[in-house]
Every structure is written in C-alpha cells, then in structure tokens.
Amino acid sequence: MEPSRGAVGGGRRWGDADAEAEAEGDAAAEEGRRPEEAGEAAECVHVFRQVAEAVAVAHAQGVAVGSARPSCFVVSPPFARVAFIESASGSDASGSCSGSDASEDADPDASPPRRRDGAARGEERTGKTFPLKSVLAMELSWYTSPEEAEDGGESGSTFASDVYRLGVLLFELFCTFETMEEKLRAMANLRHRVLPPQLLLKWPKEASFCQLLMHPVPETRPKMSDVLQSEFLNRSRNSLEEREEALRLREEIEEQELLLDFLQQLQKRKQDLADNLQDTVAFLSSDISEVLHQQSALGQCVNFSSDLEKEVCSGTVEDQSDCGSRKRFRPELQGVDMEEQNRSVEECSRTVPSSELIQESVLSKSSRLMKNFKNLETTYFLTRSKLVKQVGNQIGSRHLVKRPTGSAIGTEGSSIDNFPLERQYGRRQRGWVNSFLEGLCKYLSFSKLNVRAELKQCDLLNSSNLVCSVGFDRDKEFFATAGVNKKIKVFEYNMIVNEHRDIHYPVVEMSNRSKLSCICWNSYMKSHLASSDFEGIVQVWDVTRNQVFVEMREHERRVWSVDFSIVDPTKLVSGSDDGSVKLWDMNQAGSIGTIRTRANVCSVQFQPDNARSIAIGSADHKIYCYDLRNIRAPYCTLVGHTKTVSYVKYLDPSTIVSASTDNSLKLWDLSMSPGRIIDSPIQTFTGHTNTKNFVGLSISDGYIATGSETNEVFVYHKEFPMPVLAYKFSVADPISGEEIDDPTQFISCVCWRGQSSTLLSANSSGNIKILEMD
C-alpha cells in the first residue's frame, strides 16, 4: 500500500493508510502523545535529518527547495522513511508542492485530517473546523521566512529561507498542543522566535538549534553543510542508529520466535501422531496375539477332533463299562459292512477341514479384502474404539461370544464361522477382535449374487409393469407383488424356484381400483395382506378368499407405506403424502390415532418387539420415532440425511436403517443419545445411486439390501460402509435380443426371504428375480 500523505498544517503523520486508521482508532492515546512517551525523540530527529539531507542535496545542485514543510512529504514505517511527494529539487520558485497543489482541488469545506499534535482534537472540543484550503494557507504562512514575507515572495525561495523552514519543521516535530488555538498562538509567537516554556524545559538543545535555524538575519543562519555536521544531528545519529539496530534485532527475534513457535507446534502435532501411532501399533500387536491365541486353541480342537474321528472311523474306540473294564470293538467282529465303513471314513474326512482347504479359502478372499482394505481399516478402528469404550478401555478383555440364533446366513461360507466343533469346545471370546471378525466373516462369507429363478410373466412387455412392493408371507411359502398395474399377484415360492415353466402364473390375483404403492403381510394371520394405493386408501385383503374385508379411507392423498405390527397383528400403521400417519385397529372402525407431520410421510414401521413405537421417514430429510402413548411429539429425531428419507427399517429394537435419495443409507443407534435429537449415525453406506426414486430397502441378519437407479441390487453389511455384493439386471433388446444399457430402468423394490440368503427383487420394467448369495 502506498504511504499516506503527511499531516497538513504541521505535526507528524505515521505510516500507511492502515497504520493511520489504527492511530485514529485510539485518539486519546495517539493525539496527545509526547515524543519521550514512546521513545520518539530520536525518530523525530531522524525525520528532520532526512528532510535536511534532501534540502542539502538540492542546495548542492544550486536549487532552493521551498517545500520543506509537512504537506509535501510522507513518513513510512517502520523506520520513519521520508519521501517527498515531488522531488525536493524540482519545486518551483513559489515553494509549492504537489501536496498543496492537489489540495486545491479538494472539497474546500472538508475538515483537515486528524493531527498528532492535538490540533484536530482541539477543533472537536471548541466546535471550530478549519477547511483544508485554510489550513494549507496557514501552513504556507508559518513556513515563510521573514525576508520572503517582506518582499511578498517576489524574490522566491533562497537557501537561507530553506534553513528557516527547517527550523519551523523542527519546532513542529518536538512541540505538541492540546488545542488548535494553542497551536495558532505558538506559531504566531514563533515568528518572533518566542518558544513555549515547556519546549525550553524539556528539549533545551532542540529549542536552541531551532532558534539558530530561524535567526531573523538570513546571513546568520547556518549553511546546510553546517546543519548536517552540527553536534545536534551527529549526537542524535548514533542514538538513532542504535535504535534502528535495536528495531532490526527485535524484528529478527520476533521472526525467530515465530519460526520457533511454528516448529514447536509442528513437533507437538507430529509427536501426537507418533504417540497415536505407537498406541495403534501396541493394540494391533495385542489383537494379533489374541488372534494367534484363538487360532492355537482352534488348532488344538481340530487335532483332537481329527484323532477322535479317526478312532471312530477305525472302530477302535474304547468303551468303558460300569465296572471299569475296557473292550475294543472291531468292525469285522461286529459285522460292519465295508461300504458303510468307507462312507463313514469319507464323512469323517469332510467333517474336519484340512489346512489346504483353509488356505485355499483364505486366498480366495484375500483379493476382496485388499480391494477394500482402506474401508476395512477404518471400520476396524471405529469398531475397536467403540467396543473398548464399552468395556472401560480394558485391552485384551475376554468374554464369550453370543452367536445369533436362527441365522442361515451367519453360518454359511466361512471356514471359521461354520466350524462345528465350536459348539463342543467353547465359544470364541468376546471383544473388539471378535466383533470385527464376525463382521469381516459376514462380509467375506459370500462372493456373488446368483439368479436362482426369474419370474416369467406373459405381460412383461406392458409399459405399466413397475413393481412398487414385494413381500413374503408368514411362513415364506408365498410372495406377493404389487405396483402400478393395479394388481396384487401371489406366487408360490417353491414352484417358481423348483419347477421350470415358460410362463409363471400367480396362484392368486387381486385387482384394485388404483395404483398400488405398498403391501405388507400379517405376521400372525397367514392369509391377511395389507395394501396402500395412490388414492389414499388402505385395505386389508383375505388372500384365500381373494377379496377385501377391511377398507380405510381417511387419508386425503396417496399413501406410500403400510405396516402390520409383529407383536400385535391387529394393529396397522400407514403414512401418506398428506403429512399424516394413521393408526388402525382391525377390530375397530376408523383410525385410533393420527400423527400430524410437517412434510410428506414416505415410510412407517412398527418397532419389532412392541406395538407402542413406530419410526417415520419424512420428506423433510428426518426420521421421527414416536411412542404411540404420546403422539404429540416424537421422543427421538434422527438428523443427518440431506434429501427425502424414503425408507425406515428396524435392524433390531434399538437400531434403525434409513434410506434416502441422497445416495446413502444410514445406521442409527437409538440408545446412543439420551436427548431427543441424534445427529450422528453410527454408519453411512454408500455405493449405490438413488436420487429420485423409491428403490427398496430390506434387512436380514445384519445384511442390508437396497436397489439402485443403475438397475443394480446392492447388499451391505451393517459393519461396513461399502457394498458386500452387487447384481445388475440385464436388459435385452426386444428385437435383436442383445444386451443393452437402459438408463431409464431402476430397481424398485427388494425383500429378503426371512433370515435367509435369498433375496427377492424387482425393477421398474416388472422384471422379478430371486437372487441367492453364494
């Protein structure tokens, strides 16, 4: 930034515009400041010397300056460098400078800039203002020598008059005033070489040198060479040089301190990283030891089981009778058939996995593991830190693992999880290692989604075949489909999977008046099926009789979701575009309760272990959990999605999975916060594409299935943010039969077949496939 112009009319102005503004910000401290208060005496002499040196250079060239006054130069920090607005040697005979010339164009009524000598403050106190033009005129009169005043300036500036002006400048540098009136009186007395008493007392040498420069007889005034060689300037030069050296030294110290602070902060951060890394390596070593310990224990179990099976297969097992005698039973004595014996040996060999089979299984999974190593690493640390907090940071704590019951998925595909001796020789220890291991085994248990069967329908080419909802009945023997074709079709699962047919016909087909959006089977009454449609009607069908036996018409707009309570099969809940959630009882006419929300309701579901709580997915990007005993306000609100929440599903009574058109699924722990708002999901699942359509959501034993607008089915596991498996629906050209890419098609709904590895999925063209995780 260019330095600001010097203070008009005398007094010093410091630095650039920013420094000037800073000085003006504290008027009381700045305006009345005296030179000695901040060590400014040497600085004043330094300014004076620079002006004197410029004048001396001009005199050496035979040029009188005439502009050695404050309005014609600027002073720049940090070392008070003086720069003339115009070259000192280029001034005209009248002694004007660009500062005064330019000021003629200024607003004549403008107030002068704030002055360090207190003049402006005095103006404020007395209420008087001095236009800039008037101040410049006063300055010019103050800096006019007596001989110039006598001839009216006709003779122009002389060397002696320049020396006189230096005396006036020295006076202004060292003398400060409280008011402008004081300033005017002092400058009038200065014409007669009468100096203020305070200046004579505080700065006697400076006052004496000032009177010498302002001697009324021009010939008596010193030459510029004498001025520069005077004791006054040379004595002050040493102190100024020392001050400049001190300033430079201070700046260097400050720079060194800044560098030191940066290096210390950097060292602290790196040391923290090193400490964290050391802690990480330490607990990794602990976990490795834990895994090796468990592996050793399992190896001993395998060896013992192998020996046991060999004895059984060879028929040499000792039987201990009540009296303690032992007998050996041989196969030839017992008449055992040789083929049966060989079959038993084969079964034994299959029971205990060999090291070669284990190694082959590990190698086959390592590529998938390395492909997602970064995500697995992040999940491992999150899982470990979370569980360590739960057990009070006790590293290496050992507890027994409680395996989920009734899980077909969790016991397939993993050589460790599927190990049958675990039930005989104890369960694995609980802790962060086993928790992560269980998730990792689930993640690596399956390598692909295979098509087990594809539903072939005669109206597949119908343009209105979008399937909006699918679901299995209570016993998983039948599944139903519903969509924009206004039909509910019920198919027998085994017939579709086991029998090859050119066309699959539904065992039951029921027609509706409007497009269907959702269906839900009753968990107790096998033949009862609830549906919702685009006209806002909720119906309960008796599938065996192929008819509606309950119809509910209280919603004002399209109903997106309907759900039966698992605990109380007479209770039903529905959510609509009218912003309401209706509670229904099959034994009562009309709704038994209404929850009003501020946005469209896209999904509702009962809590799995009671009929008193529900979760609501809303178009306002939030999930609301209500206790139906108090429906005035939700007891918990889940905040984190950035677009419409299209689905909510309970993973367990305290965990919810939500789907949104922000391309993500989120996992929420309702027990993690005692407050009413949870804004931090415990997991966010990304990989699929979902920005505008309902693509389905279904949960089975920790596996989360959803669709994608890329016409793919994605399967996640609750422990990992990336997909476990994916399957893309193929689209064939109706004429050529070749596979093509149709960006308009998307997966519209998915549903697990209970707690199994079978997934029913459908897309926007009505294509329905039964997929199996292998």
Tell me the pLDDT tens digit for each residue of 329-343: 344 434 444 454 555
State yes or no: pLDDT of 224 exceeds 80: yes
Check residue 528 and give its pLDDT.
96
State yes or no: pLDDT of 389 exceeds 90: no
Out of 306-320, 355-369, 579-593, least confident range: 306-320
Average pLDDT across the chain, whole number: 77
Out of 54-63, 111-120, 455-464, least confident range: 111-120
Beta bridge partners of 467: 483
List of long-range contacts for 286-295, beta carbons under 8 Å, 24+ apart: 286/395, 286/396, 287/384, 287/432, 287/433, 290/396, 290/429, 290/431, 290/433, 291/433, 291/437, 294/428, 294/429, 294/433
Q: Band of the pLDDT at 563, cuts 50, 70, 90?
A: very high
pTM of the shown model: 0.58
Closest-CA residue to 529 (of 577, 572, 477, 582): 572
Q: Band of the pLDDT at 459, cuts 50, 70, 90?
A: low
For tokens 């549906």, name the residue: 531
Spatial CB neighbours of 149, under 8 Å, sequence gap ≥ 6:
none
Which has more confidence, 236 or 177? 177
Contact 60, 53 (CB under 8 A): no
Check residue 6 and give its pLDDT.
35
- pLDDT tens figures, 568-585: 999 999 999 999 999 999
In 372-431, where does DSSP find H-type helix?
Answer: 373-390, 422-425
Helix, coil or strand: residue 487: strand
Out of 33-47, 471-485, 506-520, 586-600, least confident range: 33-47
First-to-final CA distance of the chain: 72
Tokens encoding 88: 């000192």
Tokens encoding 303: 């060896």
Which has more confidence, 406 or 266? 266
- Using CA atoms, how far residue 41 sits from 20, 243, 510, in Å, is 20, 11, 103
Q: In angstroms, rounded to a whole number, what is the distance separating the alpha carbons of residues 59 and 666?
A: 84
Q: In angstroms, rounded to a whole number, what is the distance separating the alpha carbons of residues 233 and 239?
A: 10
- pLDDT tens figures, 448-458: 999 999 998 86
Closest-CA residue to 142 (of 187, 179, 174, 91): 187
Check residue 491 and give its pLDDT.
96
Helix, coil or strand: residue 520: strand
525 alpha-carbon distance from chain centroid: 48
- pLDDT tens figures, 75-98: 887 667 888 875 444 444 344 454
- pLDDT tens figures, 236-249: 666 666 667 767 77
Closest-CA residue to 409 (of 770, 768, 759, 761): 759
Strand-strand pairing, 636-639 and 677-678: parallel
State yes or no: pLDDT of 390 exceeds 90: no
Check residue 291 and give its pLDDT.
80
Which has more confidence, 431 or 680? 680
Identify residue 71 by its one-letter amino acid code: S
Identify residue 193 by its one-letter amino acid code: R
Check residue 111 and give its pLDDT.
35
Q: In angstroms, rounded to a whole number, what is the distance separating the alpha carbons of residues 239 and 140?
A: 32
Q: In angstroms, rounded to a whole number, what is the distance separating the alpha carbons of residues 692 and 31?
A: 67
Q: Which domains does the chain have, with CATH numbers?
A: 39-84+135-229 (1.10.510.10), 445-585+599-773 (2.130.10.10)
Helix, coil or strand: residue 689: coil
State yes or no: pLDDT of 362 exceeds 70: no
Q: In angstroms, rounded to a whole number, what is the distance separating the alpha carbons of residues 5 and 7?
A: 7
* Element (DSSP H or E) covering residue 533: strand 528-533
Which has more confidence, 457 or 8? 457
Closest-CA residue to 573 (of 542, 615, 513, 624): 615
Tokens encoding 92: 């005209």
Check residue 440 and give its pLDDT.
82
- Total residues found in the chain within this entry: 774
Q: In angstroms, rounded to a whole number, what is the distance separating the alpha carbons of residues 577 and 534?
A: 10
Contact 580, 594 (CB under 8 A): yes
Check residue 365 and give its pLDDT.
67
Candidate ranges 281-285, 359-363, 414-418; pick with highest mean pLDDT: 281-285
Spatial CB neighbours of 96, under 8 Å, sequence gap ≥ 6:
66, 67
What strands lie across the sheet with 580-585, from one edge to the other? 559-564, 571-576, 580-585, 591-596
- Using CA atoms, how far residue 377 sits from 445, 446, 531, 687, 693, in Å, is 18, 20, 44, 18, 33
Tell me the mean pLDDT in the region 652-670: 95
How would you class 68 by CB atoms within 10 Å of its CB: exposed for 0-12, middle for 13-18, buried for 19 or more? buried
Closest-CA residue to 91 (of 172, 161, 12, 190): 161
CA atoms within 13 A on the CB side of 206: 26
Phi, psi of 711 (to 5 degrees): 65, 35
- pLDDT tens figures, 273-295: 999 888 888 878 888 887 888 77
Other Cβ atoms closer than 10 A to 588? 9
Candidate ranges 353-367, 421-435, 440-454, 543-557; pick with highest mean pLDDT: 543-557
Check residue 499 and give its pLDDT.
84
Q: In angstroms, rounded to a whole number, what is the distance separating the alpha carbons of residues 662 and 557?
A: 25
Spatial CB neighbours of 427, under 8 Å, sequence gap ≥ 6:
400, 401, 402, 403
Q: In angstroms, rounded to a whole number, what is the distance separating the alpha carbons of residues 716 and 622?
A: 22
- Using CA atoms, how far residue 475 sits from 352, 493, 521, 526, 701, in Å, is 34, 11, 10, 8, 17
Contact 345, 313 (CB under 8 A): yes
Q: In angstroms, rounded to a whole number, what is the distance separating the alpha carbons of residues 407 and 419?
A: 15
Check residue 333 and give its pLDDT.
38
List of long-range contacts for 433-436, beta carbons under 8 Å, 24+ apart: 433/287, 433/290, 433/291, 433/294, 434/401, 435/383, 435/387, 436/379, 436/380, 436/383, 436/384, 436/719
- pLDDT tens figures, 713-739: 999 999 888 999 999 998 887 777 788
Tokens encoding 30: 């700045």
